[in-house]
Amino acid sequence: MEALKLFAKYAPNKTFFAVLLGTIAGLCYSALIPIVMMSLADDNTFAVGSSVTKLWGIEVTNSKFAALFFVLCVVILIFKSGSEIILNRLALNIRHNLRTELYDRVQRSSISSLEHVGPSRLIQALTTDVSAVVAGAGTFPQIITAVVTSLGVLSFLAYLDLNIFWFVIKVIVFGVVAYQIPIIIGTRYFSKAREHQDHLQEAVKGLIGGAKELKLSEGKKRAYNEQILQKEEMIVKDLEKTGSSIYTLTGNFGNLLCFFAIGGIGFIFINYHAISLPEIFASIMILLYVSGPIIMIMNFVPQLAMTQISLRKIDLLFYELPPEAVSEYINPVSSWQTVTLKDVYYNYPLQPNQSKSFVIGPVNIKINRGEITYITGGNGSGKSTLAKLLTLHYEASEGDIYFDGVKVVKERLNDYRQELSCIYSDYYLFDRLLDEKSLTEGYKEKINYYLKSFSMDKKVQLKDGRFTTLKLSDGQRRRLALIVTIIEDKPLILFDEWAADQDPMFKDIFYREILPSLKKKNKAIVVISHDDRYFDLADQMIIMESGKVIGSGMDNASKFEVVRVLAT
Ligand SMILES: Nc1ncnc2c1ncn2[C@@H]1O[C@H](COP(=O)(O)OP(=O)(O)OP(=O)(O)O)[C@@H](O)[C@H]1O
């Protein structure tokens, strides 16, 4: 039902109209057999020549019933097709909308929530779950028709013989109740299998991402296959095998339900009730007719259960990715000189099997425009975490960040983020300049200039707004990312170990030419770096250890102190 609610949420009028058409088609369906039976029951029908009309040379018995039968068939064709076409088209719209909502939520949720959810779950939801929900919901039109047909035909059975009607209802109620138990058990297996599909997705990520490493060691490859990939594959396979066997058994039991009722009438019911042969035949005919729609309804239940599993997965994802309470509209920030972090702490959420999470803080630092600030420290000391705090991706657990004297409040996070750009250690390189502010006068010349400066002009060009290739070496990709960042021309630029994989010549260009030129443009430059050869360029050094700033300095004496601490 929740899947139908989804339809109603996106397009209430169309959904109502489709349900109405499906209902009318179902009513017409349920009237077909009664019409034939009533026509045949008409005494005059079999008297030769009576009630026979000639139509285009063909003798038609009981022409009024025949005409009604024909009209109903046409109505069924039009209304049922109309209902299905509307809901199928709606289903495709909903798939599009649901995915768009998820894309939007991913863009509006915080980086920490995204890191918590992880890409595997997101991809699985966007592909498998959204399609499962829409496929399940897409069968609704047939179900509506089937339900109305069943109700209509059973009502006719009640009109024919109330005793048989009640007998059939008892068989159906018993069948439906008995049907639910294995369906619940089967659904549990599918639900568990769905959980493991997320792990499987993660394992496939390792298979592709770690292909090079696995190829270099047979033992590693075998262990990965046995302990991770095949383990998850087997779990999913076994759970789904059990679930589908239960569903198949239950489905076939459901399919036989009407035949149980027919058998019951033929072998048991007649021993307790006086009933004429024509009535028995009529009832059996009705039950045979209604068996199709009832089987369809029964088979729909497992599909609905799968739809529910996927819906719950999507709902959970929306819950775990709450949108940040930031304004959608950018209100430009007035010119600023200094970013100040005052008693800032950040706690990573506790991971499973972890007794203590990593904490950064207290951090008390100032980043000035027109200056180069280095952040340095050992691996795992919290430099990248500090970078995410500084670029306003992580929300400080305690303390505040100020742009000049103005505290950055949640609602204005987006405004301040527009002032910053960063090349993170796990940066993503887009194949074009997406920021429209980059596409100012002369941007092509600027790009060409920098491509040439970094000896990249023979490798990649900007054509029709896109880079001709991204199939570059790691160092070249980083250089291209640097060019894009320079072109974006934001007031604060942060480089997280940008130069780590550059050769000495490009390192030198970066530290001795690019950074000073950005400084001259009055940018606030933050460089996370271990390159002590270039520490002399810093206006300020910040040194981190175990999440704490253990040294910072603006003057040469303090810089010397920092270098000395690093050396010990
Ligand atoms: N997504 C995360 N969830 C939980 N804890 C994390 C996460 N990312 C990092 N950490 C923790 O934060 C600590 C600091 O990580 P961070 O990446 O900030 O260090 P770093 O100084 O940049 O290290 P490196 O020089 O190796 O890049 C790590 O030791 C780890 O325990």
pLDDT average, residue stretch 21-49: 76
Whether domain 338-567 has CATH 3.30.160.100? no
Q: Does residue 563 have a pLDDT over 70? A: no
Determine the distance separating the centroid of ligand 1 and the alpha carbon of 568, expressed in angstroms.
Answer: 22
Q: Which atom of ligand 1 is nearest to the CA of 349?
A: 4
Determine the distance separating the centroid of ligand 1 and the alpha carbon of 382, expressed in angstroms.
Answer: 6
pLDDT of residue 346: 96
- The CATH number assigned to the domain with range 2-320 reads 1.20.1560.10
| Atom 11 of ligand 1: nearest residue by CA position | 358
pLDDT of residue 384: 95
Q: Kindly state the helix (H) or strand (E) to which residue 550 belongs, with its residue range.
A: strand 548-553
Asked whether 382 lines ligand 1 (CB < 6 A), one says yes
- Strands across the sheet with 359-368, in order? 359-368, 338-347, 398-403, 406-407
Query: Higher model confidence: residue 134 or residue 502?
Result: 502
pLDDT average, residue stretch 198-215: 91
| Atom 6 of ligand 1: nearest residue by CA position | 348
State both tokens at 377. Answer: 């420290």
Asked whether 119 lines ligand 1 (CB < 6 A), one says no
Asked whether 165 lines ligand 1 (CB < 6 A), one says no
Distance CA 11, CA 119 (A): 30
pLDDT average, residue stretch 370-397: 94
pLDDT average, residue stretch 421-438: 86
**Cβ–Cβ under 8 Å, residues 142 and 296:** yes
Determine the distance separating the centroid of ligand 1 and the alpha carbon of 420, expressed in angstroms.
Answer: 21
| Domain ranges across the chain | 2-320, 338-567
Determine the distance separating the centroid of ligand 1 and the alpha carbon of 106, expressed in angstroms.
Answer: 22
pLDDT of residue 356: 85
Strands 398-403 and 371-377, bridge-based pairing:
unpaired
**Above 0.95 for ipTM, yes or no?**
yes
pLDDT of residue 565: 47
Determine the distance separating the centroid of ligand 1 and the alpha carbon of 496, expressed in angstroms.
Answer: 13
State both tokens at 532. Answer: 């002590």
pLDDT of residue 376: 93
| Atom 3 of ligand 1: nearest residue by CA position | 348
pLDDT of residue 454: 87
| Atom 31 of ligand 1: nearest residue by CA position | 358
Percent of the chain with pLDDT over 90: 43
Half-sphere exposure for 118 (CA within 13 Å, toward CB): 9
Cis peptide leading into 332, omega within 30 of 0?
Answer: no
Percent of the chain with pLDDT over 70: 94
pLDDT average, residue stretch 534-540: 91
pLDDT average, residue stretch 298-302: 80
Q: Which atom of ligand 1 is nearest to the CA of 528?
A: 22
Q: Where are the alpha helices (DSSP H) in 420-514?
A: 443-453, 474-488, 504-508
pLDDT of residue 564: 45
Asked whether 348 lines ligand 1 (CB < 6 A), one says yes
Q: Does residue 557 have a pLDDT over 50? A: no
pTM (2 d.p.): 0.78
Which range is least confidently modeled, 195-204, 323-332, 436-445?
Answer: 436-445
pLDDT of residue 46: 47
Q: Does residue 213 have a pLDDT over 70? A: yes
Asked whether 115 lines ligand 1 (CB < 6 A), one says yes
Distance CA 432, CA 483 (A): 12
pLDDT average, residue stretch 537-566: 70
State phi, psi for 540 to the nearest 5 degrees: -150, 140
Asked whether 83 lines ligand 1 (CB < 6 A), one says no
| Atom 1 of ligand 1: nearest residue by CA position | 115
pLDDT of residue 3: 66
Considering the chain, what is the average pLDDT of its residues? 87
DSSP character string of 396-418? PSEEEEEETTEE--GGGHHHHHT
Q: Does residue 150 have a pLDDT over 60? A: yes
The total number of residues written for the chain in this structure: 568
Asked whether 379 lines ligand 1 (CB < 6 A), one says yes
| Atom 16 of ligand 1: nearest residue by CA position | 382
Confidence category of residue 568, pLDDT binned at 50, 70, 90:
very low
State phi, psi for 472 to the nearest 5 degrees: -130, 170
pLDDT average, residue stretch 59-76: 87
pLDDT of residue 101: 92
**Cβ-proximal residues to 346 (8 Å cutoff; 6+ apart), any chain:** 359, 360, 361, 385, 389, 394, 396, 397
pLDDT average, residue stretch 71-84: 92
Residue 175: CB atoms within 10 A of its CB come to 19
Determine the distance separating the centroid of ligand 1 and the alpha carbon of 528, expressed in angstroms.
Answer: 14
Query: Higher model confidence: residue 153 or residue 53?
Result: 153
Confidence category of residue 552, pLDDT binned at 50, 70, 90:
low
pLDDT of residue 558: 52
Asked whether 355 lines ligand 1 (CB < 6 A), one says no
Determine the distance separating the centroid of ligand 1 and the alpha carbon of 281, expressed in angstroms.
Answer: 77
pLDDT of residue 520: 96
254-294 tens-digit pLDDT: 878 888 888 888 888 888 887 788 888 888 888 888 888 88
Asked whether 381 lines ligand 1 (CB < 6 A), one says yes
Distance CA 367, CA 391 (A): 12
Query: Higher model confidence: residue 10 or residue 146?
Result: 146
Decide if 2-320 and 338-567 have a common fold.
Answer: no
Q: Which of 345, 348, 356 to mutate to test the pocket of ligand 1 (most atoms within 8 A of CB)?
A: 348
Q: Which of 116, 357, 358, 497 to mutate to test the pocket of ligand 1 (most atoms within 8 A of CB)?
A: 358
